[in-house]
Amino acid sequence: MSDKVLIAASLLSADMARFERSMSEVASEVDYFHCDVMDGHFVPNLTFGAPVVKAIKRISTLPLDVHLMIEKPASWIDDYIGAGLSSKDYLTFHIEAEPNPVNALKKIQDAGIQAGIVVKPGTAATAIKGLEKFVNQVLVMTVEPGFGGQKFKEEMLPKITEIRKMFPDNVLVAVDGGIDETTAPLVYEAGASLLIAGNAIFGKPDPRNAARNIRFSANPNHFVC
Ligand code: DX5
Ligand code: ZN
CB-CB contact of 115 with 105 (8 Å): yes
| Ligand 1: centre distance to CA 145 (Å) | 7
Residue nearest to atom 10 of ligand 1 (CA): 148
pLDDT for 222: 79
176 annotated active-site: yes
Q: Which atom of ligand 1 is nearest to the CA of 10?
A: 9
| Ligand 2: centre distance to CA 3 (Å) | 23
Name the helix (H) or strand (E) containing 91: strand 90-94
Q: Is the C-alpha dihedral spanning 100, 109, 30, 66 positive or negative? A: negative
Interval 193-223: pLDDT, tens: 999 999 999 999 999 999 999 999 999 987 7
Q: Which atom of ligand 1 is nearest to the CA of 12?
A: 9
Q: Nearest 10 degrees: CA dihedral of 184, 187, 191, 196?
A: -60
Number of helices (H) and strands (E), helices first, in the chain?
8, 8
- Mapped onto helix, strand or coil, the DSSP state of residue 115 is strand
180 annotated active-site: no
Residue 116 burial by CB count (10 A; 0-12/13-18/19+): exposed, middle or buried? buried
The domain segmentation of the chain, as residue ranges, is: 6-220
Interval 58-92: pLDDT, tens: 999 999 999 999 999 999 999 999 999 999 999 99
| Ligand 1: centre distance to CA 4 (Å) | 22
CATH number belonging to domain 6-220:
3.20.20.70
Interval 151-166: pLDDT, tens: 999 999 999 999 999 9
Please give the Cα distance from 94 to 97 (Å, whole number). Answer: 5
- Residues with Cβ within 6 A of ligand 1? 10, 12-13, 34, 36, 67, 143, 145-150, 176-179, 196-200
Q: Which atom of ligand 1 is nearest to the CA of 149?
A: 13
Query: Whole-model pTM?
Result: 0.98
